[in-house]
Amino acid sequence: MITTAGDLPSRYVIHTVGPIYGLNNGRDADLLADCYRNCLELAAKTNLSSISFPSISTGAFGYPKHEAATVVSETISAFLERDSRITEIRLVFFSEPDAGKFLKHSRFTG
């Protein structure tokens, strides 16, 4: 779902709920990928050129950060291979070590 951003320094907020790790009959990676893919598709459909993501599900929902890095980077890469409407994607992390772990385990292509 997309809404206006209220007082945030942004035009819109795209809302998504990530999976709670371990409660999805082995579908955690697919569900996490769907969160990112659906947000990217909605942003492109809304003619947005940029989007920022927090590290979905890696906090209270317990998704292991190293596993999320693989899913997220592969999902974003696949989207960008077929759709060029979004020209800037930012990934925002809670801490520098979290960002480092993501970079270590990411699989960006192209």
Q: What are the boundaries of each domain within the chain?
A: 2-105
At residue 50, what are phi and psi to the nearest 5 degrees? -145, 160
**Topology of the domain covering 2-105:** Leucine Aminopeptidase, subunit E; domain 1 (3.40.220)
How many residues are recorded in the chain?
Answer: 110
Residue type, 8: L
Per-residue pLDDT of the chain (110 residues; tens, 9 = 90+): 999 999 999 999 999 999 999 999 999 999 999 999 999 999 999 999 999 999 999 999 999 999 999 999 999 999 999 999 999 999 999 999 999 999 999 998 76
Q: Is the dihedral of CA 96, 67, 64, 73 positive or negative?
A: positive
Distance separating alpha carbons of residues 92 and 23, to the nearest angstrom: 25
